[in-house]
Amino acid sequence: MKFTAFLVLAVCLAVIATVSAFPAKNGVNAQHNKKKPPVKCIEVCTTQYTPICAHDESGNPPMSFGNECVMRKYNCESAKKYAKKSDGECPGSTGIRLA
């Protein structure tokens, strides 16, 4: 009896391992199709909250960031050119980017 239970468990684990090893076809697997940022944009920022107010050259409204690293990462991922304007959140800011 114990041998049969062990055999059934081993077969189930083998099936699960085999199925999960192959990616889904036809775009069904969302993780596989997720667009990744360019390698140069992969920067790990701390969660230290030292907010800054930044502006860009194109005249977009100022934007608040949790710290300068988060601003650099945002610039890289979105091809923007925000630069630090002052310490602290932007006056009248409706939100702040933290990651």
pLDDT beyond 70 at 64:
yes
Q: Which residues contact 22 (CB under 8 A, 6 or more apart)?
A: none
pTM (2 d.p.): 0.59
* Cα 18 from Cα 32, distance rounded (Å): 17
Q: Are 51 and 65 in contact (CB under 8 A)?
A: yes
CA distances to 15, 42, 58 from 72, in Å: 45, 11, 17
pLDDT beyond 60 at 82:
yes
pLDDT beyond 80 at 48:
yes
Q: Are 88 and 54 in contact (CB under 8 A)?
A: no
Report the pLDDT value the prediction gives residue 46, as an integer from 0 to 100. Answer: 92
